[in-house]
Structure 1
Amino acid sequence: MAYDRELADRIREVLSGLPVREVSMFGGLTFMVNDKMTATANTAGDLMVRCDPDRIEELLDRDGAQWPSMRGRRMSKGWIVVESGRVESDEDLRSWIQEALDFNEKAAGRGR
């Protein structure tokens, strides 16, 4: 599966020290923390994060954030794609990953 290897390496660095498992899905490489989907590096260098559905409107107001779609259908609340140009800085990437980690603690899944 093709994905942006540089972005994947940067995500690995941010998540170092956490219980992470990597899985090919969503057209890229997905990082599972506590066995729950957290972030994905896709082929275009975009970042997809799982986030709090109650914060979706606020998060979509951030530059480069978009509601993702798969196979022409919009995904459910709780997912955001961030354009590659908006995660070039380590600070921006860490901010988005932290959004995902904050929700990871509340999200249902095997890691609870």
Structure 2
Amino acid sequence: MTYNEALAERIKKRLEPEGVVAKKMFNGLTFLLHGNALANLYDEGLMVRVGKEGTAETLARPGAAPLVIRGKEQKGWVVPAEETLDDDVLDDWLTWAMDVTAELPPK
């Protein structure tokens, strides 16, 4: 389980005050809001929940790529390039993910 520890700490700092819990799962560190994953940090980078309706809009952002698992694109999830994740851009991605995830029923 290898992921960017510095990025993990930046994300925790932003999300823990919002009630988000970080848990090791899915071969990385998953950030959960009311039991729903809003982001996952894994060896290939950060994936964020953007919702199926938000996929096209967020893929138009600089450095954004679709999340592909076993050759299949995962609708509703996007992988932003780590080199684009300055504080403002990271905050924007996390805010989007929080908003989408907050609409889901708690698990």
Inter-partner Cα distance in structure 1 for 2:27 and 2:65: 17
**Counterpart position of 2:84:** 86
**How far apart are 1:104 and its partner, in Å?**
1.2
Task: Structure 2: give runs of 5+ residues left out of the alignment.
Answer: none
**How far apart are 1:103 and its partner, in Å?**
0.4
Please provide the CA RMSD for this pair.
Answer: 1.4
Inter-partner Cα distance in structure 2 for 1:37 and 1:23: 10
Q: Is the 8 A contact 1:3 1:43 kept in 2?
A: yes
Q: 1 or 2, which has the higher helix percentage?
A: 2
1:8-27 map, 5 Å:
8-27=8-27
Whichever residue aligns with residue 62 of structure 1, its letter is R
Inter-partner Cα distance in structure 1 for 2:104 and 2:63: 24
Whichever residue aligns with residue 35 of structure 2, its letter is D
What number of residue pairs does the alignment pair up?
107
Inter-partner Cα distance in structure 1 for 2:68 and 2:105: 22
Q: 1 or 2, which has the higher strand percentage?
A: 2
The CA deviation string for residues 45-76 of structure 1, in whole angstroms up to 9 with x for no partner, is x221011211211110001111111122221x
Inter-partner Cα distance in structure 2 for 1:56 and 1:73: 15
- Cα 1:26–1:82 change in 2 (3 A) is farther
Inter-partner Cα distance in structure 2 for 1:25 and 1:73: 20
**How far apart are 1:13 and its partner, in Å?**
0.9
Identity rate of aligned residues, in percent?
A: 33
What SS is found at the alignment partner of 1:32? strand
**How far apart are 1:33 and its partner, in Å?**
1.4
**How far apart are 1:2 and its partner, in Å?**
1.5
Task: Structure 1: give runs of 5+ residues left out of the alignment.
Answer: none
